[in-house]
Structure 1
Amino acid sequence: MKLGLQLGYWGAQPPVHHAEIVRAADESGFDAIFTAEAWGSDAFTPLAWWGRETTNVRLGTSIVQMSGRTPTSIAMHALTLDHLSGGRMVLGMGVSGPQVVEGWYGVPFAKPLARTREVVDIIRQVLRREGPVTNAGPHYPLPYGGEGSVGLGKPLKSITHPLRDDLPIWLGAEGPKNVAQTAEIADGWIPIFYTPKSAGMYQPWLDEGFARPGARRTRETFEIAATCHFQVVADAAEKQVVVDAMKPVVALYMGGMGAKEANFHNQVFVRMGYESLAAEVQELYLAGKKDQATALIPDDLVDDMHIIGTAGEVKERVAQWEETGVSTLMLSLHTPEEVRAVAELLG
């Protein structure tokens, strides 16, 4: 199983140590580095900046919010970075959620599956460069001829010849229909809260996508890049400290990421079998009772979602994740020493 370094998105200030940990990942055998975006820093610029001195790692977005750019703009970013990196770009995309899409980008969130299909198709047209890019779909019509159009839109073909016409596209997906569509049209999947215990839930959804006519990949050639917190501890007491420290993050995603009527992360926990817990945590969290919500998160759930234990225990856990089909573990590590230690332990 390959290792990915998840740099994430910036907080209130830019990170001060990413150059060193990226260099360590590149030198230690990591397969890729990944960047993310929310409503602050973007995902493409750090890849270009931190990745400029790397030679080995793939450069991935995990994830780019599709509503933040037009499909052809996303394709321009991807093909440019692919050239600059010598063919190491991985384009990870997702639909985000209605609070961000409509509140930050000011565009409609409706029909996320149909929009995703159009975005992927347009990007692939750009990369193939077989002719001018057109799209008859209702979400991203090319050329545009709707309200406000001056009627002069012209189908265009990329001036720059893409380095690869099969640049890998991975999609973030959570629900059954979205996961099935991802298996059909994408090269890889970036799940959230994928765990050994929940892995079986996803297999029929993936199989449905692989079985569709024209599916791009098979299970054997499809990549699954799962994110978890990875930490080696000395004993059970230290593990408990780490588990307790992770509970506020779980509570945030279960209860506070999105509106009550549209929290897709909450629905993942419901499908995992935590329906009553997810409802109670959400009610408390949205009422401002974050500490009470956090106190409800069970140890077993955190232990399933992450890889925390002694050196021998984490190696066993990594093997369990790999057995479920995970091809890449995305890890958030904070120092070059951590990066090198993980590479040595799992190499």
Structure 2
Amino acid sequence: MTVPFGGVPLSEHAAVFSALADAGFTDVWSAEVAGTDGFTPLTLAAAWEPRLRLGTAIAPAFTRGPGLLAMTAAALAEAAPGRFQLGIGASSPVVVGDWNAVDFDRPFARSRDVLRFVRSALAGELVDGDFDTFSVRRFRLERPPATPPQILLAALRPGMLRLAAAEADGVILNWLSASDVTTALAETKEAPSGFEVATRIFVVPTEDVAFARTIGRRMITAYLTVPAYAAFHRWLGREDLLTPMWQAWQSGDRKGALAAIPDSLVDELIVHGSPAECRARVQAYAEAGVTVPIMALTPTPELERGGPPALLDLIAALGRTTS
């Protein structure tokens, strides 16, 4: 499950973490966009709920210096020995450039270099040398973790997918349907055994189909108009389907862009329905090869009206306590 949850202060997440573990959830994963940072919620989970594994999806490769990223990951790995997985990726020009004042330059090379640096640093090695996108002089962690975390790389298209297979412990996928997973994983055939495949899956937990599709359309226009995701879906074969939405968006016709998205695409990319229906849809990702399906819940009127008690009830319904 993706944490933290909106509407619940971080200081009150202890009950949420316990509810997730009680319901059979194995992992909590954080994102890092413009809400909480990616590590603080996981640090709280490490302290409050020892049954949960932890992961970042993702920590951007640009927004922390290499040494700081290694120190932050090492500290969380020390706080939760054997339970933390570091997910890194390029992020986006908005997050990196517009919001963090860092040039979003050569994202593939930067992601590769950060992956190589943090693997060496977290192993306790002295890192001293030039990478393609930065240089590091005589860096060694003072507190290397006894159990270095697995490192997963966020990837969309073939180049990054093949890099993940060759040099990371796993890959993080995003914004694809269960039927798209096979296409993505065809590029990771050379990965070693035990290679993790984590996928963020957006879930609108409501039986109000019209509401779910309205939210889904807003999310699709927000993400799939970003150049990297647009290129990803062209590669997946959706250029003809999405071109009307892209054209309307580029012309400034936001309503037209929303209207151009067919219901069938929303239903492919956004999981919605009753808890049982959502579970079945998420299970389809697992059957396609995803080893860590990560639900990301979107607020609904039912959750907003019911507050934290409704959230806890939903967690129980989505978890294996209902099976």
Range of TM-score over shorter length: 0.7 to 0.9
Aligned length: 311
After TM superposition, give the deviation of residue 72 of structure 1 in Å: 1.9
What letter is aligned with 1:343? G
Pairwise CA distance, 1:271: 2.1
Q: Does 1:305 align with 2:269?
A: yes
State, as a whole percentage, how many aligned pairs show the same letter: 26
Structure 2 CA distance for aligned equivalents of residues 90 and 253 of structure 1: 25
CA RMSD of aligned residues (A): 2.7
Give the structure 2 partner of residue 109 of structure 1: 104
Relative distance call for 1:64 and 1:9 in structure 2 (3 A) is farther
Q: Flag the structure with larger Rg.
A: 1
Task: Give deviations 1:67-105, integer Å, cap 9, x for gaps.
Answer: 011222111111111111233111111111233323333
Q: 1:247/1:19 Cα in 2 relative to 1: closer, same or farther (>3 Å)?
A: farther
2:3 partner SS: strand
* Other-structure match for 1:341: 317
Distance 2:183 2:33 in 1: 28
The residue that corresponds to 1:140 in the other structure is: 134
Task: Say whether 1:229 aligns with 2:207.
Answer: no
User: Which residue of 74, 79, 87 corresponds with 2:82?
Assistant: 87
- Which of 122, 127, 136 in structure 2 is aligned with 1:127? 122
SS at match of 1:34: strand
Q: Distance in 2 between matches of 1:75 and 1:239?
A: 44
CA contact (8 A) 1:32 1:57 kept: yes
The 1-side partners of 2:10 and 2:255 are apart by 28
Unpaired runs of 5+ residues, structure 1, are 144-154, 211-216, 258-262
Cα distance between partner residues in 2 of 1:338 and 1:172: 28
Residue 59 of structure 2 is aligned with which of 53, 60, 64?
64
Task: Find 1:205's aligned residue among 168, 187, 191.
Answer: 187
Q: 1:203-282, aligned counterparts within 5 Å?
A: 203-207=185-189, 210=190, 217-218=191-192, 220-230=193-203, 238-255=208-225, 257=226, 263-282=227-246
Unmatched 5+ stretches in structure 2:
298-302, 304-310
Check whether the contact 2:245–2:257 (CA below 8 A) recurs between aligned residues: yes
C-alpha contact (below 8 Å) 1:59/1:89 kept by paired residues? yes
* C-alpha deviation, 1:336, in angstroms: 1.4
| Structure 1 partner of 2:292 | 328
Q: 1:346, 1:197 → 2: CA distance?
A: 26
Cα shift at 1:164: 1.2
Q: How does the TM-score come out when normalised to structure 1?
A: 0.80
Contact kept, 8 Å, 1:254 with 1:281, in 2: the verdict is: no
Aligned match of 2:43: 48
Q: Offset of 1:10 from its aligned partner?
A: 7.3
Distance in 2, matches of 1:290 and 1:15, equals 34
